């Protein structure tokens, strides 16, 4: 392969075990066309490399303060009030004025403690493959492989397709964790190189879907049918979000739809909403509404699971 | 999933008693030993030790507690601690005087005032006669010049405080042969040589006499317990218990003297021999070895004959484990920081292969793990030997056990350990029959005197100290505890700011490492020379393969195989330290050597941003990165090559190891700031694990880094501690964990151990200890109840990167 395209990645995790069979290395691509208010990795949504601020790591402006003078736009100021009580020893911390910041990264380069850092980094396909191959012995023992996740990996289509192809050339098992929101032409190209799709389905009601996440569900559902028809394998993942998609009616509609996909679906996972992602929003520039809700009860999840089971599906709760 | 059996009500009662009883210091042993030593100053040490033991077995109180079926005590009280004045006792006088003894926050003990008064009368006597003093006085003058070097641990005084421990006696022989037969064998040797003592025969004859005496001691103690059981039976109103007491008496009358006939007798003999060994030898890493292999044939024949059920066998084993858990030894207060949690290190090994190479798993293997898991016991600690044919069911119960009981069992790889022991000279059969000793140290089971812990505690060697001395002209920057000015204790290898290249740094480090390994070996040689003279171990030698044949005590090299173990502490810290110098000063030139040196010597004070930058910028060991891992590999090679070239007093080679028990925290306190950005007093890294929280690339990467270290030539053990979030084991997580371990072992990793606990849970346990009384965690070399640990160790467990797999 002569060209070695690059993509924007925000994390590569070794030994991730929830993203498909066996021990896996998961590559998280940056950027997503959806805007789910319950997103638990908000730093994955924008396509460009962006500044992130973790108060926990800051050592305070008294001994440091390098960022204050490094920002050409004056977007960093000493924090007032609440933020400085974040640490026990009452350090004077900083605050980023997100409206002024243009993510130039100068402050992150200066910050010695890694409190200010840039989310996202460009990697070429061969760099990612080299990294993944280091974990190969673990894949072999466990029946694992590489999962490409996001963000929405199919949004960086050229990179993702090249990466999938390269992984397969090296004989690795591949999984693609996707929202399903991509042109069929892209999905079709990916198909031969994907051993398992991890496909998110949220709501069968197109209007509600569009209103909550900003895109229609139609292309997603069509892609699911297309994958099934082409003989692809899928794990369906259903996030359970209070008052958005947790009604019995929606679960029945989902159950029916998934059942119709037939043998293509190997497993259905219910992913109950949790609020663990909420604090992460503080670290970056907001770009959409944030949902703060209480997690669904075990009882509720049990009921929903029972509904799906009526459609003879294998269900797993995460 | 593996189905655990229920806990019998009486076992639950005994467990409750164990957890609810505050240990108490008992002075019965102290009294008898003091009296004996005062009355017999002229006996040759070999005979003195044997007769001292006989005296103890004849006169120690014999106690059989309610609900007990397996019996034996070191003290008159339940869950008590005996005192061992002939080893080292100065610390207790100090702690009594300072009031610390009764006011410890860690490992608290009760002690009666009259007992305290009694003990205090003998301060003068013991301060002139204990092994510690005898060692101090034997230490050649040149050793005093290097005290305070920060690498080899010893001082001007109290150098011999650690007892000789860390071995596995031949329990199988005690069970299957009995002490009558052993005594007869020794007597025959005497009969052959008496009246014709040529060459070294006088020494050999003394040894054989000592063996006959300790055999009598073992038999005597057993018969006294039998009598006690009969006495209690006579007064017992409960018919069932009366029958049981008589059954116990009959077994106790038979065993020790004769080969055990039943499973019950075998378990009782195993335990009572341990009691006899401990009465003599100070309960310091007295390892049980392959208990499943000792016991299974008895279990099977009882089962076939209809004498026992699975439930009864489990109950007996439960009661045995609770007896082991009950045993403990009061340590000096400062030592509880490094270990603590009333831990006694009586390690049991299960699984693995048999001498013939086939899978050794049996019903007792499962029953032992059931004991740990169902009773939430960290003591006795357990090691599971893994090989290609380890059954899935055994994997399953092992992971389930460690999930509930942090670090129990540890996972050990036959694939690496057996060849490592063959290298040490063990025969194929002996190597296949290995067990783990103390914490993680491989050794022969009943035929090897591996001295894994060195001749006492001083086997630990601080690797980061060598880096510090290398760049500071042989001078330890840490102020000396006695307030004396620091001085040059190492080689004059120059200062960092004069070094022109990183190779010069490495060269200097290598010189200091080799120099101080030589000092360490020298020190251990002196210690062993003193200890062998004053503290021979005929009670161990009586069963140990090779001793009766050669007529030599284990301390004199009588065992079939011999070794001395080395334990390097803090390779992660040392690696990242060298990486920091290479990266910041020489490769990236982000600062001058002078700036780096000055900041380090100031303990980073006034240089916080610089310190942060180091920690952020440098590539860290534990992330499968060549840059640091090559250095880890280099350090491990320098150490193992040097250590393996050294010889010990029994004609043996030394063997290298990389594990810390839990000294990495205590010694961190005594170690100056290190170039990786660690501040003075902070913990060192543990085993071959990366620095706490610097392994951010996930467990597979950590393991890949650890594999750069030469496990095959670290025959004294390596240790890698990992913490997983409980969620990680949900769903298919368990199989993935198993695959992770299998891969590590396939790639020639030696040992792995796990804590399955979340940081939130551990923090909550710090705040609400009562709600988490039974939470067992692994620290490094041992497991303990979390709430009984020193805060520093607790924090260390919490800080360990949590490998949450979500
Ligand atoms: S990233 Fe934002 S805050 Fe940082 S220097 Fe650039 S503009 Fe300023
Ligand atoms: S540069 Fe980083 S550590 Fe320093 S004050 Fe700014 S955010 Fe804090």
Mean pLDDT, residues A40-65 taken together: 90
pLDDT of residue B709: 87
Q: Whose CA is nearest to atom 5 of ligand 1?
A: A71
A220-250 pLDDT, tens digit per residue, is: 999 999 999 999 999 999 999 999 999 999 9
Note the pLDDT of residue B395: 97
At A18, the pLDDT band (50, 70, 90 cuts) reads confident
Q: Which of A55, A56, A67 to mutate to test the pocket of ligand 2 (most atoms within 8 A of CB)?
A: A67
Nearest by CB: A141 against B624, B733, B742: B742
Q: Over range B703-725, report the average pLDDT.
A: 84
> Which residue in B has a C-alpha nearest to residue A316's C-alpha?
B731
Kindly give the distance from the C-alpha atom of residue A67 to the centroid of ligand 2, in angstroms, as a whole number. Answer: 6
The nearest CA of chain B is from the CA of A86 a distance in Å of 18
Residue written as token pair 């084991």: B729
Please tell me the predicted confidence (pLDDT) of residue A84: 44
**What distance in angstroms lies between residue A66's CA and the mean position of ligand 1's atoms?**
12
Cβ of B805 within 8 Å of Cβ of A141? The answer is: no
Residue B334 pLDDT: 72
- What are the backbone dihedrals phi and psi of residue B152, each rounded to the nearest 5 degrees, phi first? -95, 135
In this prediction, residue A85 carries a pLDDT of 45
Look at the block and give the residue holding tokens 């913990």.
B683
Contact B731 A18 (CB under 8 A): yes
Specify the DSSP class assigned to residue A180.
Answer: S
What 3-state DSSP class applies to B723? Answer: strand
pLDDT attached to residue B456: 62
Residues in chain A whose Cβ is within 8 Å of chain B: 13-18, 21-23, 25, 59, 63-64, 66, 112-114, 134-135, 137-138, 140-144, 316, 318
Phi/psi at B513 (5° precision): -60, -50
Please name the residue of chain A whose CA is at the shortest distance from the CA of residue B803. Answer: A15
What does the alpha-carbon distance between residue B512 and residue B503 come to, in Å, rounded to a whole number? Answer: 14
Is residue B653 exposed (0-12), middle (13-18) or buried (19+ Cβ within 10 Å)? middle
- Whether residues A135 and B735 touch (CB distance < 8 A) is answered with no
CA distance A17 to A40: 18
Stated pTM of the model:
0.90
Rg over alpha carbons for chain A, rounded to the nearest Å, is 21
User: Choosing among B703, B739, B745, B801, which should be mutated to test the A contact, i.e. which has the most A CBs within 10 A?
Assistant: B739
Q: pLDDT (tens digit, 9 = 90+) per residue, B24-38?
A: 999 999 999 999 999
Which tokens hold the place of B492? 């004059």
Q: Report residue A42's pLDDT band, with 50, 70 and 90 as the boundaries.
A: confident
Measure A148 CA to ligand 1 centroid, in angstroms.
Answer: 30
B1-25 pLDDT per residue, tens = 889 999 999 999 999 999 899 999 9
- Per residue in B789-805, pLDDT (tens digit) is 777 777 777 776 555 43
Tokens of B45: 């040490």
Residue A86 has pLDDT above 70, yes or no: no
> How many angstroms separate the alpha carbon of residue A102 from the centre of ligand 1?
6
More confident residue, B578 or B691: B578
Q: How far apart are CA B743 and CA B752, in angstroms?
A: 12
Mean pLDDT confidence for A90-104: 91
Average pLDDT, stretch B182-199? Answer: 97
Q: Would you say residue B430 has pLDDT above 90?
A: yes
Neighbours of B460 (CB within 10 A): 25
Q: Is the pLDDT of residue B781 over 60?
A: no
The beta-carbon neighbor of B698 closest among A15, A66, A144 is A15
User: How would residue B338 be classed by pLDDT, with cut points 50, 70 and 90?
Assistant: low
What was the pLDDT predicted at B774? 67
Answer whether B339's CB lies under 8 Å from B662's CB: yes
Q: Which residues surround ligand 1 with Cβ inside 6 Å?
A: A 51, 70-71, 73, 75-76, 96, 101-107
Tell me the mean pLDDT in the region A123-133: 95
Average pLDDT value for residue range A43-70:
91
Q: Looking at the CA of A115, which ligand is closest? A: 2
Point out the ligand 1 atom lying closest to the alpha carbon of residue A106.
5
SS3 of A157, please?
Answer: helix
Distance (Å) from CA A97 to ligand 1 centroid:
9
One-character DSSP codes across B27-96? -HHHHHHHHHHHH-TTS-HHHHHHHHHHHHHHHS-----TT-SS---SSSSTTEE---TTT--HHHHHHH
CB contact under 8 A, A17 and B805: yes
Best residue for ligand 1 mutational test, from A104, A109, A120 (most atoms within 8 Å of Cβ)? A104
Query: How confident is the model over B221-258, as pLDDT tens digits?
Result: 999 999 999 999 999 999 999 999 999 999 999 999 99
Longest dimension (CA), chain A: 63
Per-residue pLDDT tens digits for B465-508: 999 999 999 999 998 877 777 889 999 999 999 999 999 999 99
Predicted pLDDT of residue B105: 77
Q: Tell whether ipTM is more than 0.85.
A: yes
Shortest CA distance from A276: residue in chain B:
B806
Q: What is the mean pLDDT of residues B421-437?
A: 96
As a whole-number percent, the residues of chain B with pLDDT over 70 amount to 93
The C-alpha atoms of residue A276 and residue A38 are separated, in whole angstroms, by 10
Domains and CATH numbers, chain A: 6-47+121-317 (3.20.20.70), 52-119 (3.30.70.20)
pLDDT given at position B198: 95
Instruction: Please confirm whether the linkage preceding A151 is cis (ω < 30° from 0).
Output: yes
> Can you state the percent helix, strand and coil of chain A, rounding each to 5?
40, 20, 40
Structure tokens at B84: 């061992």
- Chain B: residue whose CA lies nearest to A117: B616
A94-100: list long-range contacts, CB under 8 Å, 24+ apart: A94/A53, A94/A58, A94/A61, A94/A65, A94/A67, A94/A68, A96/A51, A96/A53, A98/A284, A98/A285, A98/A286, A100/A73, A100/A74, A100/A75
Average pLDDT, chain B: 90
**Structure tokens of B4?**
């655990």
pLDDT band at B695; cut points 50, 70, 90: low
B694-700: average pLDDT: 70
pLDDT at A82: 45
* Predicted confidence band of residue B691 (pLDDT cuts 50, 70, 90): low
Residue A16: list chain B partners with CB under 8 A.
698, 805
Task: Answer whether residue B363 shows pLDDT above 60.
Answer: yes
How high does pLDDT run on average in chain A?
91
């Amino acid at each position: 392969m002569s060209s070695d395209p690059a993509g924007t990645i925000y994390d590569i995790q070794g030994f991730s075990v929830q993203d498909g069979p066996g021990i896996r290395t998961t590559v998280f691509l940056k950027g997503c066309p959806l805007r789910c208010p319950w997103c638990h990795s908000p730093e994955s949504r924008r396509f460009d490399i962006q500044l992130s601020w973790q108060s926990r790591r800051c050592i305070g402006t008294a001994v440091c303060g390098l960022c204050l003078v490094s920002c050409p736009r004056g977007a960093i100021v000493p924090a007032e009030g609440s933020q400085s009580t974040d640490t026990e020893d009452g350090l004077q911390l900083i605050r980023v004025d997100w409206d002024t910041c243009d993510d130039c990264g100068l402050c992150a380069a200066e910050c010695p403690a890694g409190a200010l850092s840039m989310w996202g980094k460009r990697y070429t396909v061969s760099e990612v493959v080299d990294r993944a191959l280091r974990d190969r012995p673990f894949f072999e023992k466990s029946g694992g492989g590489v999962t490409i996740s996001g963000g929405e990996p199919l949004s960086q289509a050229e990179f993702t397709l090249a990466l999938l192809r390269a992984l397969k050339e090296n004989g690795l098992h591949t999984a693609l964790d996707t929202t399903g929101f991509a042109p069929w032409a892209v999905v079709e190209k990916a198909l031969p190189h994907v051993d398992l799709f991890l496909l998110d389905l949220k709501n069968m009601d197109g209007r509600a879907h569009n209103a909550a996440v900003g895109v229609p569900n139609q292309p997603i559902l069509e892609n699911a049918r297309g994958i099934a028809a082409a003989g692809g394998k899928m794990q369906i993942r259903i996030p359970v979000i209070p008052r958005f998609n947790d009604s019995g009616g929606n679960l029945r509609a989902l159950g029916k739809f998934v059942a119709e996909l037939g043998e293509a679906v190997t497993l259905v996972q219910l992913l109950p909403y949790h609020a663990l992602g909420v604090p992460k929003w503080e670290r970056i520039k907001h770009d959409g509404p944030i949902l703060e809700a209480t997690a669904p009860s075990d009882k509720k999840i049990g009921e929903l699971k029972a509904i799906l089971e009526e459609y003879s599906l294998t269900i797993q709760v995460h | 999933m593996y189905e655990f059996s229920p806990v019998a009500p009486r076992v639950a009662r005994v467990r409750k008693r164990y957890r609810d009883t505050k240990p108490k210091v008992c002075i019965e042993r102290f009294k008898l030993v003091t009296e004996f030593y005062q009355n017999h100053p002229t006996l040759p040490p070999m005979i003195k030790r044997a007769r001292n033991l006989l005296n103890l077995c004849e006169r120690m109180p014999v106690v059989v507690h309610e609900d007990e079926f397996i019996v034996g005590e070191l003290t008159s009280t339940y869950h008590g601690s005996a005192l061992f004045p002939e080893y080292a006792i100065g610390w207790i006088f100090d702690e009594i005087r300072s009031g610390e003894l009764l006011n410890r926050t860690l490992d608290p003990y009760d002690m009666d005032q009259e007992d305290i008064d009694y003990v205090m009368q003998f301060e003068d006597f013991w301060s002139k006669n204990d092994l510690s003093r005898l060692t101090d006085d034997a230490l050649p003058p040149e050793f005093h010049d290097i005290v305070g070097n920060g690498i080899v641990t010893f001082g001007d005084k109290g150098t011999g405080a650690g007892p000789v421990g860390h071995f596995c006696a031949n329990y199988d022989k005690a069970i299957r042969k009995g002490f009558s037969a052993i005594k007869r064998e020794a007597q025959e040797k005497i009969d052959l040589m008496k009246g014709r003592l040529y060459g070294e025969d006088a020494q050999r004859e003394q040894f054989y006499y000592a063996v006959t005496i300790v055999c009598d001691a073992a038999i005597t103690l057993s018969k006294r317990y039998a009598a006690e059981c009969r006495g209690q039976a006579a007064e017992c109103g409960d018919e069932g218990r009366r029958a049981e007491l008589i059954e116990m008496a009959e077994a106790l009358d038979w065993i020790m003297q004769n080969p055990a006939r039943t499973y019950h007798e075998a378990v009782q003999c195993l335990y009572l021999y341990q009691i006899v060994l401990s009465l003599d030898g100070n309960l310091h890493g007295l390892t049980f070895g392959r208990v499943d292999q000792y016991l299974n044939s008895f279990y099977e024949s009882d089962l076939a004959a209809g004498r026992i059920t699975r439930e009864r066998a489990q109950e007996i084993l439960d009661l045995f484990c609770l007896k082991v858990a009950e045993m403990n030894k009061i340590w000096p207060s400062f030592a509880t920081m490094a270990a603590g949690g009333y831990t006694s290190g009586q390690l049991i090994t299960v699984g693995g292969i048999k001498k013939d190479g086939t899978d050794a798993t049996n019903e007792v293997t499962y029953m032992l793990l059931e004991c740990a898991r169902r009773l939430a016991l960290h003591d006795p600690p357990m090691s599971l030997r893994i090989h290609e044919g380890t059954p899935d069911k055994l994997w399953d119960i092992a992971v389930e056990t460690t999930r509930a009981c942090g670090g129990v069992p540890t996972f050990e790889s036959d694939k690496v350990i057996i060849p490592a022991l063959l290298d040490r000279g063990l025969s194929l059969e002996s190597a296949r029959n290995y067990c783990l000793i103390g914490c993680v140290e491989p050794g022969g089971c009943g035929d090897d005197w591996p001295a894994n812990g060195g001749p006492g505690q001083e086997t630990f060697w601080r690797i980061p100290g060598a880096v510090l001395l290398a760049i500071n002209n042989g001078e330890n920057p840490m102020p000396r505890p006695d307030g004396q000015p620091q001085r040059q204790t190492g080689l004059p290898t120059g200062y960092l700011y004069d070094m022109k290249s990183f190779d010069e740094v490495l060269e200097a480090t290598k010189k200091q490492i080799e120099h101080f390994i030589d000092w360490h070996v020298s020190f251990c040689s002196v210690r062993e020379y003193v200890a062998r003279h004053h503290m021979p171990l005929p009670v161990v030698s009586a069963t140990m393969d090779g001793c009766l044949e050669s007529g030599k005590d284990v301390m004199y090299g009588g065992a079939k195989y011999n070794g001395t173990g080395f334990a390097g502490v803090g390779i992660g810290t040392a690696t990242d330290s060298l990486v920091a110098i290479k990266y910041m000063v020489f490769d990236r030139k982000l600062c001058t050597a002078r700036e780096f040196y000055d900041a380090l010597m100031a303990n980073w004070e006034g240089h916080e941003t610089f310190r942060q930058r180091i920690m952020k910028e440098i590539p860290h060991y534990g992330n499968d990165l060549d840059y640091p891992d090559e250095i880890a590999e280099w350090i491990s090679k320098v150490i193992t090559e040097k250590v393996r070239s050294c010889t010990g007093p029994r004609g043996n080679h030394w063997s290298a190891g990389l594990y810390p028990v839990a000294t990495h925290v205590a010694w961190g306190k005594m170690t100056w700031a290190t170039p990786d950005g660690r501040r003075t007093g902070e913990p060192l890294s543990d085993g071959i694990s990366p620095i706490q929280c610097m392994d951010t690339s996930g467990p597979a990467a950590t393991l890949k880094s650890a594999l750069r270290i030469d496990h095959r030539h670290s025959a004294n053990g390596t240790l890698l501690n990992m913490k997983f979030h409980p969620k990680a084991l949900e769903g298919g997580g368990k199989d993935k964990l198993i695959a992770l371990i299998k891969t590590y072992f396939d790639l020639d990793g030696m040992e792995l151990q796990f804590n399955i606990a979340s940081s939130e849970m551990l923090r909550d346990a710090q705040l609400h200890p009562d709600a988490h009384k039974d939470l067992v965690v692994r620290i490094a070399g041992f497991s303990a109840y979390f709430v009984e640990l020193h805060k520093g160790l607790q924090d260390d467990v919490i800080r360990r990167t949590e490998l949450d797999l979500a």
